[in-house]
Amino acid sequence: MPCVNLSLEPSPASVGLEPAVSLYIHVPFCASKCHYCAFFSEIPKDQWPDRYAKALILELEQLSGQIKPRTIFFGGGTPSVLAEVHWRQILSAMERCQLHQAQEWTVECNPASVSSEKARLWKEAGVNRISMGMQTQDDVLLGHLGRIHSYGRARECHDLLRRAGFQNLNVDLMFGIPGQTLEDWDRCISEALALGSEHLSCYEVTYEEDTPLYNQLQAGRFAMDEDLVCRMYEHLLERVREVGFRQYEISNFAKNQDPAPEGLPSTACMHNVNYWRGGYYIGLGPSASSYWEGLRTTRWPDVAKYCECVERGLSPLAEQDRLSPLARAGEIAAFGLRMTEGWDFNEFARITGFDLRTEWAVELKELVLLEWGCLTDERFCLTAQGLRFADAAAEKFLRLE
């Protein structure tokens, strides 16, 4: 595929989207594959990390001067699995390309692969937020998930990151793990809160096809208990509210201190908020997606192919599609309803050019009747019950082309 010119300059005709943009960088390596994971990542072989770092730097150089990201997110995969030598190369390229002065810069990490030296490099480069996958405090359950770290290591990692000077830490937790009881989950929440992080992301285990956990479920090795999962989620909401965390999205909770101008908690993840609010984003690295002025693109989910394209000066894009304004507005509506604030009608119109009240009048009424939605003169949001069924609610807003 020839190199596609992805224009990065917003045109005056764009429908009010701000030029603020998020930069996502996908690190496609993990030390081993977790049993539930369907993300694109591979166990690094031979020279792959070296080749990946060089290709990524070439992509960063092409982007140099074209955008000024407001948020940066290194996700994966496991960014922390990259060796210090590769981090040094990538971070100095970020600086050289003037891509390093974001308001929020997150690196995801696995406790097993964080070192003091990596934490120091991140801090010096301008990283100001770390997201750590703890998942659970129970080492047996961590084993069921195929995680390679122990809870003890997660605690050490949290301390290490604090000592390195990070004041905005997220901890990822999982509930509904096969074999996990409500008491286990309560202990997990207690241990996570005791760490004192500023942000919590709590996800229900999902069973993605072709993962070991899915295959175990299909083979009857355990059964799903939806009632228990619902009770775990409700218990989570109670526990985190008691200690001052504010839920701002289905799975995300942030310390409610110094509310930011948008009314979000000051430690809300602004990178993800940009996705949910329909903002522009540029994704680099294998499998990463971008969205810019109606054009959605995805890079090859294949490390060798991605590197080869970039090295040869060819486009690393595997797919691109242009959504109609209405289809994109439907997607934006659906994503935004994941947030507890839902949509302010004026803001939705400013971002998409459509009136949520008229274009989706039938859907809003239906959701209110189901008691999944709450409608006022200014805004529409999902109720607590609606948030539990957010995927089903969101589907109603999608407009097929």
183/196 Cα distance (integer angstroms)? 21
In the chain, how many H helices and how many E strands? 16, 15
| Minimum separation from the CB atom of position 38 to ligand SF4 (A) | 8
384/371 Cα distance (integer angstroms)? 9
The residue among 78 and 168 lying less far from ligand SF4, judged by its C-beta, is 78
| Minimum separation from the CB atom of position 222 to ligand SF4 (A) | 19
Longest Cα–Cα distance of the chain, Å, equals: 59
The residue type of 134 is M
The residue among 33 and 187 lying less far from ligand SF4, judged by its C-beta, is 33
User: Which tokens belong to 261?
Assistant: 């101008």
User: Which tokens belong to 54?
Assistant: 């060089």
- Scanning the structure block, which residue is given the tokens 């602004």? 270
User: Which tokens belong to 157?
Assistant: 């990692």
Query: Which residues are near ligand SF4 by CB under 6 A?
Result: 30, 33-34, 37, 39, 41, 76-78, 110
Q: Reduced to 3 states, what is the DSSP secondary structure of residue 358?
A: helix
| Minimum separation from the CB atom of position 77 to ligand SF4 (A) | 5
The residue among 23 and 37 lying less far from ligand SF4, judged by its C-beta, is 37
The residue among 30 and 240 lying less far from ligand SF4, judged by its C-beta, is 30
The residue among 76 and 386 lying less far from ligand SF4, judged by its C-beta, is 76
110/153 Cα distance (integer angstroms)? 10
| Minimum separation from the CB atom of position 110 to ligand SF4 (A) | 5
Fill in the DSSP letter of residue 4. P
If residue 191 lies in a helix (H) or strand (E), which one and from where to where? helix 182-195
The residue among 39 and 389 lying less far from ligand SF4, judged by its C-beta, is 39
Q: Reduced to 3 states, what is the DSSP secondary structure of residue 280?
A: strand
227: number of Cβ within 10 Å: 8
Which residues does 354 contact at the CB level (< 8 Å), separation at least 6?
325, 326, 329, 348
The residue among 83 and 327 lying less far from ligand SF4, judged by its C-beta, is 83
| Minimum separation from the CB atom of position 58 to ligand SF4 (A) | 24
The residue among 76 and 279 lying less far from ligand SF4, judged by its C-beta, is 76
| Minimum separation from the CB atom of position 203 to ligand SF4 (A) | 10
| Minimum separation from the CB atom of position 150 to ligand SF4 (A) | 14
The residue among 41 and 352 lying less far from ligand SF4, judged by its C-beta, is 41
7-to-250, 316, 398 alpha-carbon distances in Å: 34, 15, 26
| Minimum separation from the CB atom of position 201 to ligand SF4 (A) | 12
Strand partners, 71: 22, 104
| Minimum separation from the CB atom of position 154 to ligand SF4 (A) | 13
Query: Residues 112-143, buried b or exposed e (16+ Cβ, 10 A)?
Result: bbbeeebbebbeebebbbbbbbbbbbbeebbe
